[in-house]
């Protein structure tokens, strides 16, 4: 049992765990910052390169369905949706900035 002046063992364990977590977060952030300074980029590589993007957009302009495009280009339906949405956003931004 703990007294008001002395921390219980569970409070001590919680404090130590919190300190450990803070150390891990700090070291992780420092490591990511060091990697950025060296020019390293983390994360997953994009599935769609410029060739696949062009093929997706061309097939859609020809009126192909999203599923047919996905099967033909060998990407998921979601990737086709994202590519088309990104293209639509880019086109609308181009139209807004055009004189």
- Give the CA distances from residue 23 to residues 16, 30, 42, in Å, rounded to whole numbers and listed in that order: 11, 10, 21
Nearest to 77 by CA among 62, 60, 58: 60
Higher pLDDT, 12 or 95: 12
- For 30-82, the pLDDT digits (tens) are 999 999 999 888 888 888 999 999 999 999 999 999 999 999 999 999 999 99
- Measured between alpha carbons, how far is 55 from 62 in angstroms, rounded to an integer? 11
CA 51 to chain centre: 22
Q: What is the pLDDT of residue 99?
A: 45
């Amino acid at each position: 049992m703990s007294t008001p002046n002395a921390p219980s063992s569970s409070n001590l364990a919680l404090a130590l765990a919190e300190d450990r977590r803070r150390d891990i977060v700090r070291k992780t952030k420092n490591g990511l910052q060091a990697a950025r300074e060296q020019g390293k980029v983390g994360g997953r590589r994009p599935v769609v390169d410029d060739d696949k993007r062009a093929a997706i957009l061309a097939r859609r302009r020809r009126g192909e369905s999203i599923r047919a495009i996905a099967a033909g280009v060998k990407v998921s339906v979601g990737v086709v949706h994202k590519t088309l949405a990104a293209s639509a956003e880019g086109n609308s931004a181009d139209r807004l900035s055009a004189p």
